[in-house]
Chain A
């Protein structure tokens, strides 16, 4: 989540919207947003956070998480979402994806932003960072 906020200067001018989905309760999501906001205000105070560059969504029964195949049933905390990232176009088609191999495996913040900006401009995602499916 932090990477999206820190790279928001790439997303906001292109009007890219960002949603994060987890099973977490709203209160935990608000705490996460507050921590990320405070970090950003301290580290990069020049970044505008109003309106906030992303929205966190709650999927308490993991219906959407299961529908996309992101469920992790074996976690010690119970069912959680495995990290998967999609860039969708205006028509609702997946144009780029990064299916993480583990919790530590995340897409390059810059590579992801470049893919999203390309899709927003009606272009193909950059071939030099095709994601991982």
Chain B
């Protein structure tokens, strides 16, 4: 069940992208006026 509701903050996280660059949340959100984050299962 989704834990993030409208108005909630995004969890703190530090991930790598598929090219090896690091992305940190929530700092990354300050870099754009809006951000879409989609969770996907992969190639299945």
Q: Is B15 in contact with A70, judged by CB distance below 8 angstroms? A: no
Q: Is A86 in contact with B37, judged by CB distance below 8 angstroms? A: yes
Number of A-B contacts (CB under 8 A): 187
CA distance A112 to B35 in the complex (A): 11
Q: Is A77 in contact with B32, judged by CB distance below 8 angstroms? A: no
A18 in contact with B36 given A28-B43, A80-B42, A97-B5 (CB within 8 Å) = yes
CB interface residues, A 77-112, toward B, < 8 Å: 77, 80-97, 99, 103, 112
Looking across the interface, which residue of chain A has its beta carbon closest to that of B3?
A69
Looking across the interface, which residue of chain B has its beta carbon closest to that of A25?
B18
CA distance A16 to B37 in the complex (A): 11
Q: Is A120 in contact with B33, judged by CB distance below 8 angstroms? A: yes
Q: Is A55 in contact with B23, judged by CB distance below 8 angstroms? A: yes
A24-64 to B contact mask, C-beta < 8 Å, 1/0: 10101111110000000000000000000011111100011
Using CB atoms and an 8 Å cutoff, list the residues of chain B in contact with chain A: 1-11, 13, 15-21, 23, 25-26, 28-44
